[in-house]
Amino acid sequence: MGIFRLHFLACIAFVGIPGLAEFTALGQDSLAVEGRVIPLVLLPEAPVSVGTSLLSILQLEAPKATTVLAASELETAVSLTEALEFTTGVDIRSRGPWGIQSDISIRGGSFEQTALLVNGVRWSAPHTGHHLMNVPIDPEDLGHVEVVRSGSGAMAGSGAFAGSVHLRTPTGGVTDGGSAAIEVGSFGWKRLRLHADIKGAQATQRFSLSRAETDGHVDNADAQITRAMWVSDWDQGTQKWKMMVALEDKAFGAQNFYTSTYPDQFETTQAAIAQLNWERTGSNWRASAAAHGRYHRDRFELYREGSGWYQETADGFFVRNPLDAQADADTAGLYAPGASWYTGANQHRSLTAALNGKIQWYRDQSMVTFSADVREEMIQSNRLGAESEGAPEMYPRGDQRTNLDALVSWSGRSESGRLLASVTAGTNVNSRFGQQFLPSADIRYRAGAEEEYVFFASAGRSVRHPSFTDLYYNVGGAQGSEDLLPEFAEQAEIGARWSILPNRLMMETSGFIRKGKNLIDWIKYDQSVPAVDVYQAANLSAIDFRGVDLTFTYKHEGTLLRMARATYAWIEADQTPVDFTSIYVLDYLKSKVDVVTDWDLPAGVEGAIRYSLQERSQPFAIQTERVAVHLLGFSLQREWGEQNQIKTAIRLNNVLNAQYLDVGQVVQPGRNVRFSLIFDLKS
């Protein structure tokens, strides 16, 4: 038996019996349990679930390493990934900036190993994790964001392999009115956003609509993004409802996005989300349920079509500049006389339909939780899946699978409240990949005269299934594999927090180990034979990741320095690529320093400084062997008018004009600036 398993069993033996579930108390400040009133401790901006807890708690008490982004850190960003760029242990690998397309990796995990939850419900992108962050929500519409830097197993569902990101829309502080924002900036950036709130006696309606465009920072990097969202909250005392409907449409030049062999790519995506949340509280129990649906459509052109790009000829070839001299013409996919392997765009549409429920019982100092999430994941495509009789002409292939995540959990605390421990027995059942047992345990202990020290530890197992792209894609130098197995991780974390100045200055440090098995990667073997010069989806046998991080967070409203967060994270894998090139698993951020500050400056000006030093395990600087990049950004904003009904803002990104690649050969924008004018129409 390995040392990790010994530690894991020792942790379970020390903690006791089954665990803790994930839940957020929406807007309540206390809970009646068998005649006793238990206060719920909230952060100033919003209740925080920190990914694993039952009730809203202070970040200081979280049983896992956690970062919380308040609304003030989101308001000058035009995409969620832009804000997450400066978050501890988070690697944002952008193909298209400004929310066009980005992948989120946590603690060295791949982009497929991060789970996304919105208002407590996991969103999934079975086609490919590259589309998980096609989130039709503007950052301004979020109350806060929680980043949990640890796998959550059954807690957050399959896919929460290395960590999870939790988005919360606000439920309070809404008044009648609205806002309109106009934004212009570098590279032909233009953005218009409209927002309206309607508050009733028991219900609140929130509407938003935005449209953004850019000419692109390089050729074939133009983009258009449209988002629309409606959120409705009903509060009926013991019952609460939340309804969300959101849409997103994108079209963008995808220069070098997926391969540099065929650089002139283009893509359009559409996402439609509908979600209904329900919650009810009794004297010693609480129940919640949700229904979720996500429709996603993707059209990908390996050779961009249209005027000035590639156009289809009568004999089925895609040719660029067909009227020019033959020497200037470029024919897509012509590798054999009279034949072309490229026959047009990839067409995909996927649908995820999910139902989940959760119920908790409280008694004395303990709690029991039952939770289940069942979802159907389907895809129709001209590239992915098996041929299906009677399928639409555009989508002759397809596949579908059913996934169940379920758990039973027990947690308990000591009479003094200093010790909180839990263990969870979870299971994942997938119609294609079978059943997996996902146990987890965590413990938190508060020490010190003022309970200013918190020590925490957790251990668990998580799983991630191959995407449909991993299984089936086979075109343009990439080859999936239907023989792929699910990937697993056994992981443990230990850490501590110190409230140096209560409610003002906090330090957090943690260390982790994640033992991965059957890790899914796209690799290219180092051979010179053209016939095998392709990237292949494969299971890597076993790779261990370990690392440490350190965070200082300072908050003091009403002072010159309103907020500051300084962090350091270091990660290392026990293997390096030998005889092959790894696109994802072994290409990770080895070390990262982030500094974020918010300032209340003279004359009513608010300012922010963001800095990140990122060092990769593999070089990502253009035409050099450097593996480090420095990113620096500033923002300033000020309110004007008798009722502060006008706000102006400026945001400057990549001040040092760093030239770098996040992934592949996709060049990131140099120095760029955005100017915003916002009209507040609230009554």
pLDDT tens-digit readout, 58-83: 677 788 898 989 888 888 899 999 98
Band the pLDDT of 323: cuts 50, 70, 90. Answer: low
Predicted local confidence at residue 440, as pLDDT: 93
The Cα angle at residue 79 between residues 77 and 83, in degrees rounded to 5: 55
Least confident of 54-68, 178-192, 294-308, 556-570: 54-68
Among the listed residues 214, 129, 228, 120, the one whose alpha carbon sits nearest the alpha carbon of residue 167: 120
pLDDT digits (tens, 9 = 90+) for 335-351: 444 556 788 899 999 99
Among the listed residues 41, 38, 20, the one whose alpha carbon sits nearest the alpha carbon of residue 30: 38
DSSP states of 206-262 as a string? EEEEEEEEE--SSTT--EEEEEEEEEEEEE-SSEEEEEEEEEEEEEEEEETSS-SSS
Predicted local confidence at residue 526, as pLDDT: 76
Whether 40 shows a pLDDT value over 60: the answer reads no
* Strands 628-640 vs 589-600: parallel, antiparallel or unpaired: unpaired
Task: Report how far residue 571's alpha carbon sits from residue 584's, in angstroms, rounded to the nearest whole number.
Answer: 15
Whether 620 shows a pLDDT value over 60: the answer reads no
**Scanning the structure block, which residue is given the tokens 């100092």?**
365
pTM across the whole model = 0.89
Q: Where are the beta strands (DSSP E) in 34-150?
A: 36-39, 66-70, 90-96, 101-106, 114-118, 121-123, 144-148
**What is the residue type of 370?**
F
The answer to the question of residue 320 being in a domain is: no
Q: Where are the beta strands (DSSP E) in 256-392?
A: 264-281, 285-301, 310-312, 318-320, 330-331, 346-363, 366-381, 386-387
pLDDT digits (tens, 9 = 90+) for 201-230: 889 999 999 999 999 999 999 999 999 999
The answer to the question of residue 315 being in a domain is: no
Q: What is the mean pLDDT of the chain?
A: 85
The answer to the question of residue 338 being in a domain is: no
- How is residue 174 annotated by DSSP? -
Band the pLDDT of 236: cuts 50, 70, 90. Answer: confident
The answer to the question of residue 80 being in a domain is: yes
Mean pLDDT for 38-55 is: 39
The answer to the question of residue 24 being in a domain is: yes
Predicted local confidence at residue 625, as pLDDT: 61
Mean pLDDT for 425-454 is: 94
Whether 274 shows a pLDDT value over 80: the answer reads yes
Least confident of 17-31, 42-56, 612-626: 17-31
Whether 22 shows a pLDDT value over 50: the answer reads no
Predicted local confidence at residue 535, as pLDDT: 85
- How is residue 113 annotated by DSSP? G
Asked if 156 and 106 touch (Cβ cutoff 8 Å), the reply is no
Q: Which domain holds residue 461?
A: 3-302+345-680
Predicted local confidence at residue 50, as pLDDT: 53
Predicted local confidence at residue 513, as pLDDT: 97
The answer to the question of residue 340 being in a domain is: no
Predicted local confidence at residue 292, as pLDDT: 97
User: What is residue 19's three-state secondary structure?
Assistant: coil
Task: Report how far residue 365's alpha carbon sits from residue 152's, in angstroms, rounded to the nearest whole number.
Answer: 24
DSSP element (H, E) containing 589: strand 589-600
User: What is residue 396's three-state secondary structure?
Assistant: coil
pLDDT digits (tens, 9 = 90+) for 457-479: 999 999 999 999 999 998 777 89
Whether 42 shows a pLDDT value over 60: the answer reads no
Whether 266 shows a pLDDT value over 50: the answer reads yes
Least confident of 18-27, 84-93, 345-354: 18-27
Whether 633 shows a pLDDT value over 80: the answer reads yes
* Other beta carbons within 10 Å of 580: 16
Task: Report how far residue 528's alpha carbon sits from residue 508's, in angstroms, rounded to the nearest whole number.
Answer: 48
3-state helix, strand, coil in the chain (%, to 5): 5, 55, 40
Whether 504 shows a pLDDT value over 60: the answer reads yes
Predicted local confidence at residue 541, as pLDDT: 83
Predicted local confidence at residue 617, as pLDDT: 87
Q: How many domains does the chain have?
A: 1
Predicted local confidence at residue 342, as pLDDT: 80
Q: In what order do the strands lie in the sheet with 330-331?
A: 310-312, 318-320, 330-331
Q: Kindly give, in sequence order, each residue whose CB lies less than 8 Å from that of residue 274, ignoring residues fewer than 6 positions away.
A: 244, 245, 292, 293
Whether 189 shows a pLDDT value over 90: the answer reads yes
pLDDT digits (tens, 9 = 90+) for 393-435: 999 999 999 999 999 999 999 999 899 999 999 999 999 999 9
- Between residues 579 and 566, the one the model is more confident about: 566
Whether 53 shows a pLDDT value over 50: the answer reads no
The answer to the question of residue 585 being in a domain is: yes
Give the CATH number, domain containing residue 634.
Answer: 2.40.170.20
Mean pLDDT for 291-320 is: 90
The answer to the question of residue 108 being in a domain is: yes
CA-CA distances (angstroms) from residue 220 to 25, 165, 302, 362, 385? 46, 31, 12, 57, 30
Among the listed residues 334, 348, 328, 327, the one whose alpha carbon sits nearest the alpha carbon of residue 391: 348
